Amino acid sequence: MANSHLIPTYKRQPVAFERGHGAWLFDGDGNRYLDALSGIAVSALGHSHPALVEAITNQASTLLHTSNLYEIDVQTRLADRLCALSGMDAVFFGNSGSEANEAAIKLARLHGHNRGIDMPVIVVMESAFHGRTLAALAATGNANAQKGFEPMPAGFVRVPYGDIDAIAALEDHNIVAVHVEPIQGEGGVRVPPADFLPALRRLCDKRDWLMMIDEVQTGVGRTGHWFAHQAAGITPDVMCLAKGLGGGVPIGAALVASAAGELFGPGSHGSTFGGNPLACRAALAVLDTIEHDGLLAHAGAMGESIREQIEARVGELDHVVEIRGAGLMIGIELSEPCAELVDAAREQGILLNVTAGSVIRLLPPLIIGPAEVERLVDGVCHLIESMTTTQTMQAD
């Protein structure tokens, strides 16, 4: 690819896939790979799922795009379905997680201005990831991602993830919202204390702050619930979705509840492609399939099986710090950087990635079966065990 005209914003692995089926991808030489990354939590139904293929094909044969200057029936149906599943009141559709988070940030600022606050401030978390657009990047807690794009937009204050006392101690009267992931994905599959989200909900209610949940990676069944925050028994004021919602077709959504639903009006926000017929038809097919095939319970069971098996086999090794996650969002933290395991896994026919430097991240499709779980567990454990062998040889 030396003559490629692509801007080199990605450090790509030396493999190109020609087709996929279920939880497997195939390259041009016919080699198959177990996809334990799902396009970074996107391919919720795996590859070439017949229900999704049929929905996309049928919609493409009738109507792809009209713009939001007109009514879009399938968009309305998707909004109704998402609100029924989430308990939220209304939806704005965009094309990505960054756009969904941008909409949330704009909603928070409108909320502040409506309260007479000229310089609204949003509380965000250390190690958070909310996207690559400038406002979403400013909310992101990753200095490397921000480097070179300074100055970052103002209006954010950062606290340790999961620390409700640190948030409660903030005395800035310009604070209007808290923006948080229910489980941090890029930050290392970090799970907050069990009482964190309920306590945050109570604090936001007390101080008239919007509680904004970024479910871009955790949403749409990934953790064994439709949305990860539902495990905590709370409802946010704003929820951001993308990734798995379209099963591979780009779509993002910002859902709003209560008074937050009244902040946007005609002309206050928009998206040319957001919620077009193709994307919405794909998303409806994803939701229908998850519900019809019982994939929420399946994801919970498969994820528990993966974590338990890995724990039983390598959990006692000195360099395994913690195995954590929910559903099919799993992180295995090691005591040292382990980026080299990505290449080693691919050579074994498994696709995964390493995030936060030392966390093996597993995001297999929701349709993964027991035999594929066994293959994944065996491969990942072999990689972790091989690190012990390498360390011993180096010590000798």
Q: How many CA atoms lie within 13 A of 133 on its CB side?
A: 13
Please choose, from the candidates 356, 351, 383, 385, the residue with its C-alpha nearest in 3D space to the C-alpha of residue 15: 351
CA distances from 267 to 264, 277, 280, 352 (A): 8, 21, 22, 42
Given the residues 92, 129, 156, 264, the one annotated as active site: 129
The neighbouring-strand residues paired with 20 are 25
Of the chain, the end-to-end C-alpha distance in Å amounts to 40
Helices (H), 150-276: 164-168, 196-207
Cα separation, 386 vs 389, whole angstroms: 5
92 is catalytic: no
Task: Sort strands 329-334 and 17-21 into parallel, antiparallel or unpaired.
Answer: unpaired
CA distances from 55 to 64, 250, 278, 298, 313 (A): 12, 15, 9, 23, 41
214 is catalytic: yes
Given the residues 35, 214, 227, 237, the one annotated as active site: 214
Given the residues 156, 196, 227, 243, the one annotated as active site: 243
180-192 CB burial, b ≥16 within 10 A, e <16 = bbbbbbbbbbbbb
11 is catalytic: no
**Catalytic residue IDs:** 129, 214, 243
